């Protein structure tokens, strides 16, 4: 992005709260699916007086349950933090709460979906869209508003609150686009927490050698569409560097075309999170990536701290 483009975006910023009305939010909530409604709402702690972030949780725990369950933390992309519970509606992440997917987690898993505070910031209305107070606000390109401290605090709060039923050896992380960027940042900020992670079509970031070394023992599955505009400048050089330095299990899936489970084109070649939310299987049961026929959840569950 050149200076003129960035200046035009900055000049067009308007408050996010002015782009969606309370009535619209109410209507969105009323139209949530049964699976989306299974997620309860929590709020993380403030860090040095900063605004805390919301996070939404599906819990597999039943009354008097003493079992310990794995955890999947899912980080949304840009624009999906613009209003309450939007991360649940922006993708099919709620599929992970379905009975069929829960059974794949050896009988159940917590699904934790944090929300960036985009509603407290501004939104560009010309050129390419950008939200301040997004996960990407911590990048060099859009610096000054990283929410990594608040995100880490929310994750740690959740793990503390659910300590009796969380399997701390099986805490997993995945995120797409801006959330893919934040997946890398979370691994760096919380190096001892996650048993495996999946950065999906990550935005505006190539890890340094020192950062790669810090994450070299975390199993990774990097997923992106080959025609995604983020692939060549960010994802491809990251993959090349990982192949030279990564010590843990490393999977790479580069999709020739990003397709829905019914094999029709996805809304965009950027939408490589779609296969992940369907466990990396097409609707007919064939794997999206023939190298890895067991699916996404099985790969996660194959790793423990």
CATH number at residue 33: 3.40.50.1820
Neighbouring residues of 61: CB distance < 8 A, sequence distance ≥ 6:
67, 69, 108, 162, 165
Neighbouring residues of 2: CB distance < 8 A, sequence distance ≥ 6:
none
- The number of distinct structural domains making up the chain is 1
List the domain range (segments joined by +) for residue 114: 3-301
pTM, two decimal places:
0.96
Q: Residue 217: which of 187, 237, 244, 247 has the closest Cα?
A: 247
Q: What is the pLDDT along the chain (305 residues), one digit of tens a residue?
A: 788 888 888 899 999 988 888 888 888 889 999 999 999 999 999 999 999 999 999 999 998 899 999 999 999 999 999 999 999 999 999 999 999 999 999 999 999 999 999 999 999 988 777 888 899 988 876 655 789 999 999 999 999 999 999 999 999 999 999 999 999 999 999 999 999 999 999 999 999 999 999 999 999 999 999 999 999 999 999 999 999 999 999 999 999 999 999 999 999 999 999 999 999 999 999 999 999 999 999 999 999 99
How long, in residues, is the chain? 305
């Amino acid at each position: 992005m050149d200076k003129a483009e960035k200046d035009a975006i900055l000049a067009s910023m308007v408050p996010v709260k002015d782009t969606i009305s309370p009535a619209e939010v109410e209507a969105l909530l009323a139209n949530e699916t049964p699976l989306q409604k299974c997620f309860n709402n929590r709020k993380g702690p403030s860090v040095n007086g900063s605004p805390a972030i919301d996070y939404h949780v599906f819990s597999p725990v039943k009354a008097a349950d003493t079992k310990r369950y794995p955890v999947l933390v899912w980080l949304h992309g840009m624009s999906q933090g613009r209003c309450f519970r939007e991360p649940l509606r922006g993708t099919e992440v709620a599929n992970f709460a379905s009975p069929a997917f829960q059974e794949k987690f050896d009988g159940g898993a917590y699904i934790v979906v944090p929300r960036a505070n985009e509603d407290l910031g501004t939104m560009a209305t010309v050129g390419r869209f950008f939200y301040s107070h997004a996960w990407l606000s911590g990048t060099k390109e859009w610096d000054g508003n990283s929410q990594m401290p608040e995100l880490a605090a929310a994750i740690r709060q959740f793990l503390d609150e659910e300590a009796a039923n969380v399997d701390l050896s099986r805490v997993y992380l995945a995120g797409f686009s801006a959330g893919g960027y934040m997946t890398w940042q979370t691994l760096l900020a919380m190096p001892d927490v996650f048993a495996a992670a999946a950065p999906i079509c990550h935005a505006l970031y190539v890890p340094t050698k020192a950062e790669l070394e810090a994450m070299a023992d975390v199993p990774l599955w990097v997923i992106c569409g080959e025609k995604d505009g983020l692939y060549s400048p960010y994802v491809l050089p990251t993959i090349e560097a990982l192949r030279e330095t990564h010590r843990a299990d490393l999977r790479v899936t580069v999709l020739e075309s990003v397709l829905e489970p019914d094999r029709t084109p996805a809304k965009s070649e950027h939408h490589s999170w779609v296969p992940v939310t369907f466990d990396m299987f097409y609707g007919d049961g064939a794997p999206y990536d023939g190298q890895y026929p067991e699916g996404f959840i099985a790969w996660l569950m194959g790793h423990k701290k």
